[in-house]
Amino acid sequence: MAGSGTTLVECKLLERRAVGVDINPDAVMVARNRLDFSYASLDVDYVTPEIKTYVGDARSLDLIEPESIDLIAMHPPYASIIPYSHDREGDLSSVHNIAEFAAEMRNVAQECMRVLKPGKHCAVLIGDTRRNKHFVPITPRVLMGFLEAGFILREDIIKLQWKMKSTREKWFGKKYDFYLIGHEHLYVFRKPEAGERMTKFKESMKWW
């Protein structure tokens, strides 16, 4: 879910090796183009890191070995609020039904669990939406999907949104009496270490 590559550009600047995956070949092409710059770091020891990109599905990261990744930074679609393609097979931004979207994100969570090294972190930026003038919670369902997959919740960081607008590009809040959603959640999950005693974390884990 690397999109047009913001995180990958940061990886290049921070000298981190990275692999970016997105289901949309157009997004991967844009990301490759954005990564095509030379960087004169002030750090004399800076060595341009290897940044790989490929067209793939976050539910099945077929080119990534088990327990090979140190950190996952993921920015999924918020169900169908912004369609990133026209019904491309596997594109989760075309899943309108929130329960179905949550089930697919649970598959993504399981795949993250597979590729991440034990003890390492997975950060997921995700937001909620409105339908029919009511709040539709997406974030708690995604949170539960990651806990279901066996992750421990390390942080829930609130990212404030600026310049919000409704999907119709116009805020009818005064007329209809509702708030624009002004925040997103950046969940940071930790994969348990092998054989780690989990009892003391049980309130940050799957509780149901």
Ligand X SMILES: C[S@@+](CC[C@H](N)C(=O)[O-])C[C@H]1O[C@@H](n2cnc3c(N)ncnc32)[C@H](O)[C@@H]1O
Binding site for ligand X (CB under 6 A): 1, 3-4, 6, 21-24, 27, 57-59, 75-77, 84, 90-93
- Cα Rg of the chain (Å, integer): 18
Output 74 or 152, the one with its CB closest to ligand X.
Answer: 74
The continuous run of DSSP H or E covering 71 comes out as strand 69-74
Output 127 or 189, the one with its CB closest to ligand X.
Answer: 127
- What three-state secondary structure class fits 184? strand
Residue number of the CB closest to ligand X reads: 3
User: Residue 61 class from Cβ within 10 Å (0-12 exposed, 13-18 middle, 19+ buried)?
Assistant: buried
Output 3 or 145, the one with its CB closest to ligand X.
Answer: 3
Minimum distance from residue 137 beta carbon to ligand X (Å): 18
Minimum distance from residue 22 beta carbon to ligand X (Å): 5
Q: Which residues pair with 150 in a beta bridge?
A: none
Output 109 or 152, the one with its CB closest to ligand X.
Answer: 109
Minimum distance from residue 46 beta carbon to ligand X (Å): 23
Minimum distance from residue 27 beta carbon to ligand X (Å): 4
Minimum distance from residue 24 beta carbon to ligand X (Å): 4
A 10 A CB-CB count for 178 gives 15
Output 112 or 143, the one with its CB closest to ligand X.
Answer: 112
Output 59 or 154, the one with its CB closest to ligand X.
Answer: 59
- Interacting residues of 176 by C-beta distance below 8 A, sequence separation 6+: 133
Give the per-residue SS3 of 87-155.
CCCCCHHHCCCHHHHHHHHHHHHHHHHHHEEEEEEEEEEECCEEECCEEECCHHHHHHHHHHCCCEEEE
Minimum distance from residue 194 beta carbon to ligand X (Å): 28
